[in-house]
Amino acid sequence: MQLDGKVALVTGASRGIGRSIALMLAARGADIVINYAGNTEAAEQTKAEVEALGRKALVVKADVGDTVACEKMLEDVVAAMGKIDILVNNAGITRDTLLMRMKEADWDAVLTTNLKSVYNCTKAAIKYMMKARSGRIVNISSVVGAMGNAGQANYAAAKAGILGFTKAVAKETASRGITVNAVAPGFIATDMTAVLSDKVVDNLKAGIPMGRLGAPEDIAKAVAFLVSDDAAYITGQTLHVNGGMYMD
Ligand code: NAP
């Protein structure tokens, strides 16, 4: 399989899109580090599923918004697995409300967990990737980072920030054999979107040419491509996976 012998760290891999990415990369031969914030039961479930695919799995509880915790996480990963080949910055949260009502805490929480996290984990990981002169980084952005969305100024800012970060770091690391790309999902059926009312979902579907929300696997397949050898000459790009709701 094309990812045989690779070690992949997926942040926020206990549930949703991250879990699906972890399983997809494991199915293609990678050993997986499953990062999560608090849901130990779900993280252990992902671990069991990775192991059932015949791959090694390590669970690491760490807040991706915490710089020191991320440095330690990468040290622990390299100590336990020997190296880090692939980093998928997937962990994320929402604190949706109109800007007029948005509290500073809502802004700070989303920017820290969704954007500072990408700085934290990428900086800690490229230290090892630079030495190895190879690596693959995929950052999970959002269609909202490209289009904007009322009620999500904090989330849109963080997800747009990821796109600029991706391009800058792609330029810094290309000569060392590292690629850095973003995947921008549309609306995907996970716990994050399960809070939306039927009416909101129907309105969303009306704006999606394919007429449905995406599945986590739709995102995982795009990530699996970008971390593979087939994507060796692709860096600094954003791959939109959204059923046609936004076309770059
Ligand atoms: P989800 O189902 O809510 O899962 C979020 C994951 O992130 C969980 O594994 C959670 O861990 C982890 N997490 C949250 N805060 C964390 C922290 N501080 N440190 C470490 N891990 C943390 O979300 P999802 O829908 O799969 O979304 C995954 C990514 O895709 C996010 O970046 C999201 O913004 C992006 N995205 C989602 C959609 C969508 O429609 N669903 C669309 C575009 C982009 P615990 O289980 O421990 O809480």
pLDDT attached to residue 9: 99
Mean per-residue pLDDT, 25-46: 98
Active site residues: 155
Which residues form ligand 1's pocket by a CB distance below 6 Å?
A: 11-12, 14-18, 35-39, 42, 63-65, 90-93, 113, 140, 142, 185, 187-188, 190-193
Structure tokens at 38: 């608090």
Which of 192, 195, 196 to mutate to test ligand 1, by most ligand atoms within 8 A of the CB atom? Answer: 192
Residue nearest to atom 3 of ligand 1 (CA): 192
Give the pLDDT confidence of 177-229 residue by residue, as tens digits. Answer: 999 999 999 999 999 999 999 999 999 999 999 999 999 999 999 999 999 99
- The yes-or-no verdict on residue 1 having pLDDT over 70 is no
- What gap in Å lies between CA 194 and CA 71, rounded to an integer? 32
Atom of ligand 1 minimally distant from the CA of 39: 47
Residue nearest to atom 23 of ligand 1 (CA): 192
Strand order in the sheet with 135-140: 57-61, 31-36, 7-10, 86-89, 135-140, 178-185, 238-241
Q: Residues of 162-192 as b/e, b for ≥16 C-beta within 10 angstroms? A: bbebbbebbeebeeeebbbbbbbbbbbbbee
From the CA of 183, how far away is ligand 1's center (Å)?
14
